[in-house]
Amino acid sequence: MDAQAWEKVDRLIDENQNKTIKDYFAEDPDRAGRFSLEAAGWFLDYSKNRIDAAMMKALVKLAEKSDLKNEIEKMFTGRKINATEGRAVLHTALRNIDKNAKIKVDGKDVMPGVRRVLKQMGDFADLVRSGKWKGFTGKRIKYVVNIGIGGSDLGPVMANIALTPYSKRYLKFYFVSNVDSTHLVETLREVKADQTLFIVASKTFTTQETMSNAQAAKSWLVEKLGDKKAVARHFVAVSTAEKEVAAFGIDTKNMFVFWDWVGGRYSLPSAIGLSLMISIGRNNYARFLKGYYRMDRHFRTARFERNMPVVLALLGILYHNGYGAESYCVLPYDQYLSRFPAYLQQMDMESNGKGVTKDGEKVPYTTGPIEWGEPGTNGQHSFYQLIHQGTHLIPCDFIGFSKTHNPVGDLHDKLMANFFAQTEALAFGKTADECRKEGVEERLVPFKTFDGNRPTNTLLADELTPETLGALIALYEHKVFVQGVIWNIYSYDQWGVQLGKVLAKGILDDLTSKKPKLRHDASTNQLIARYRKTLSR
Ligand code: G6Q
């Protein structure tokens, strides 16, 4: 992070420490319009923040000093910005709908491959949706089970729920991720083998959880249908690893590839989105990609002051580094976005949860905020208390839509009344005098007073559509990218995840082999011994 540019931000925080969001609104009647912007179907009002024009200017300077413009171009043009893995970072190529686009990695244009796989996915989705794809006994597919974890699960789950109104309701979708056998077993209880399509989604095709679940699902299917040949009609793969897919027994004709320049947590618009394509069909899927593309274009071309991902990133940095806010909350006021916070959790925390700069030094400031959230208004009846009156500063993003897919009486108006009321209350609070005027008993005044001055962003779109969902995902992807650039960290590797993959393998032998000599610390040895004793091993 550029020290000089940050110093200016820090100085402004000091100078304005006695000013509240309420004061800023009193000073500037045009504030709401001044601190709002539109992109790709989304309206962002960020006026309820602790900012003024001078602060935004200082924050933009911070972005400029990080060479952000150049870094954005490097990402979009396929430079190997994921340096610790020696890879390009090109999820934007997956949704580049410009027919003339050419993007090269190692001198080779990746776009023909992207278009080919998209067509393959569309053709396959048509077959499944129309019932022309028959299972081994000649029945059409009714159940689709995606087996994957992390980046090969969270995106497909989130988007399948989000775009339910566009789905083919005849088909039922399930997502198995956990290596806890309960996840698979309870799913298999819901489906019929002769009508089930398993999508094994794994970039590497070596991930322990996914491969174990996939093997178990394969055995179940073969047992139910009584013939190994059934696998070819009931299993397809999404992967970068052709050899491993063939070794598993899946016909590579039914393999949908993607590439090492697609990071797991950014892979939803790649073939990892196959379950979504089957659910909503190729036309809606094209709309989904178009939404992403519109936000990508906005991000690449808009000047920083008017650039939605850049503005969100800078506000995040202001609170995280300037005010010590350790977390931020994402609050979608739409039931269809129920898994969006969980999806963002991975995107943000796996990308920017890094403690070393690009030069290999310890970062001298904090990075990677903790992201959490739940759909409104459920959160209002639980953790909002802490946001309103607790001692932590928790900036929030409120996400809502003017129209609902399911109008029932005035329910949507009620939902949105809560949506607007919350950001108002968080920003403006309630003073002791206001409480007294309402007749609050004096001894209760301190408890019923709200300081306010709690920052929020409001993201409002007309309706949740494939386009607005795509644009929303891209918005946060680019926000995370910008913060990584400013913090000077590598956002596209995940050595912590890799570590987990290795650690569990080491202990598995101790749990299953005969009389192992336990060589862990005393605590771990004790726990393993107790586990073995319970199982009489
Ligand atoms: C994502 C991470 C991680 C990954 C899973 C699954 O960015 O790398 O969540 O997606 O570990 O990996 P596979 O797709 O290789 O099974």
Q: pLDDT by residue (tens digit) across 398-422?
A: 999 999 999 999 999 999 999 999 9
Alpha carbon of residue 78 to chain centroid: 22
Split the chain (537 residues) into runs of 10 and give each run's mean pLDDT: 96 97 96 98 98 98 98 97 97 97 96 98 98 98 98 98 98 98 98 98 94 98 97 95 92 94 98 98 98 98 98 98 97 98 97 97 96 93 96 98 98 98 97 96 96 98 98 98 98 90 83 83 94 91
Per-residue confidence (pLDDT) for residue 198, from 0 to 100 = 98
Indicate which atom in ligand 1 lies nearest the CA of residue 148: 16
Q: Which of 350, 374, 467, 477 is catalytic?
A: 350
Per-residue confidence (pLDDT) for residue 495, from 0 to 100 = 92
- Measure the CA dihedral 223/224/230/232, to 10°: -80
The answer to whether residue 80 is catalytic is no
Per-residue confidence (pLDDT) for residue 44, from 0 to 100 = 98
Ligand 1 center from residue 475 Cα (angstroms): 21
Whole-angstrom Cα distance, residue 34 to residue 57? Answer: 13
**Ligand 1 proximity of 150 Cβ (cutoff 6 Å):** yes
Q: Atom 9, ligand 1: which residue's CA is nearest?
A: 150
**How is residue 320 annotated by DSSP?**
I
Specify the residue for token string 């030069």. Answer: 359
Cis-peptide into 377, omega within 30 deg: yes
Per-residue confidence (pLDDT) for residue 32, from 0 to 100 = 98
**Ligand 1 proximity of 497 Cβ (cutoff 6 Å):** yes
**Ligand 1 proximity of 149 Cβ (cutoff 6 Å):** yes
Whole-angstrom Cα distance, residue 40 to residue 52? Answer: 25
**Ligand 1 proximity of 477 Cβ (cutoff 6 Å):** no
**Ligand 1 proximity of 91 Cβ (cutoff 6 Å):** no
Q: Which of 381, 515, 517, 533 is catalytic?
A: 381
**Ligand 1 proximity of 203 Cβ (cutoff 6 Å):** yes
Ligand 1 center from residue 181 Cα (angstroms): 19
Q: Which of 228, 229, 243, 501 is catalytic?
A: 501
**Ligand 1 proximity of 267 Cβ (cutoff 6 Å):** no
**Ligand 1 proximity of 202 Cβ (cutoff 6 Å):** yes
Q: Which of 131, 99, 473 is nearest to 278 (CA)?
A: 131
Ligand 1 center from residue 151 Cα (angstroms): 5
Indicate which atom in ligand 1 lies nearest the CA of residue 239: 14
Q: Under 8 Å CB-to-CB from 51, ≥6 apart: which residues?
A: 24, 35, 59, 315, 318
Ligand 1 pocket test target in 176, 177, 203 with most atoms within 8 Å of CB: 203
The answer to whether residue 350 is catalytic is yes
Whole-angstrom Cα distance, residue 324 to residue 445? Answer: 29
Residue type, 461: A
Per-residue confidence (pLDDT) for residue 498, from 0 to 100 = 83
Ligand 1 center from residue 269 Cα (angstroms): 15
Q: Report the b/e string of 345-377 with b at 16+ CB within 10 A.
A: bbbbbbbbebeebbeeeebeeebbbebbbbbbb
Ligand 1 center from residue 152 Cα (angstroms): 6
| Structure token digits, residue 288 | 């989904």
Ligand 1 center from residue 9 Cα (angstroms): 37
Whole-angstrom Cα distance, residue 529 to residue 537? Answer: 9
Indicate which atom in ligand 1 lies nearest the CA of residue 501: 11
**Ligand 1 proximity of 156 Cβ (cutoff 6 Å):** no
Q: Under 8 Å CB-to-CB from 521, ≥6 apart: which residues?
A: none
Per-residue confidence (pLDDT) for residue 119, from 0 to 100 = 98
Ligand 1 center from residue 354 Cα (angstroms): 17
- Kindly report the pTM of this predicted structure: 0.97
Ligand 1 pocket test target in 270, 352, 497, 499 with most atoms within 8 Å of CB: 497
Whole-angstrom Cα distance, residue 349 to residue 327? Answer: 11
**Ligand 1 proximity of 152 Cβ (cutoff 6 Å):** yes
Indicate which atom in ligand 1 lies nearest the CA of residue 151: 10
**Ligand 1 proximity of 454 Cβ (cutoff 6 Å):** no
Ligand 1 center from residue 257 Cα (angstroms): 15
- Structural contact between residues 311 and 44, judged by C-beta atoms closer than 8 angstroms: yes
Assign 484 to helix, strand or coil.
Answer: helix
Q: Where are the beta strands (DSSP E) in 232-343?
A: 235-239, 255-257, 327-332
Per-residue confidence (pLDDT) for residue 509, from 0 to 100 = 87
Indicate which atom in ligand 1 lies nearest the CA of residue 265: 7
| Structure token digits, residue 196 | 């089930």
The answer to whether residue 430 is catalytic is no
Ligand 1 center from residue 534 Cα (angstroms): 33
| Structure token digits, residue 438 | 């309402």
From residue 483, how far is each of 18, 65, 369 by CA, in Å?
A: 27, 13, 10
Assign 398 to helix, strand or coil.
Answer: strand
| Structure token digits, residue 522 | 């005393």
- Measure the CA dihedral 496/497/503/508, to 10°: 160
Whole-angstrom Cα distance, residue 20 to residue 323? Answer: 14
Ligand 1 pocket test target in 85, 176, 204 with most atoms within 8 Å of CB: 204
Give the DSSP H/E element, type plus range, for residue 108. strand 108-109
| Structure token digits, residue 248 | 């598993």
From residue 114, how far is each of 89, 102, 107, 289, 315 by CA, in Å?
A: 14, 11, 16, 12, 34
Q: How many residues are given for the chain? A: 537
Tell which phi-psi region holds residue 107, choosing left (phi > 0), alpha (psi between -120 and 50) or beta.
Answer: left
Give the DSSP H/E element, type plus range, for residue 145. strand 143-147
Indicate which atom in ligand 1 lies nearest the CA of residue 150: 9
Q: Atom 11, ligand 1: which residue's CA is nearest?
A: 150
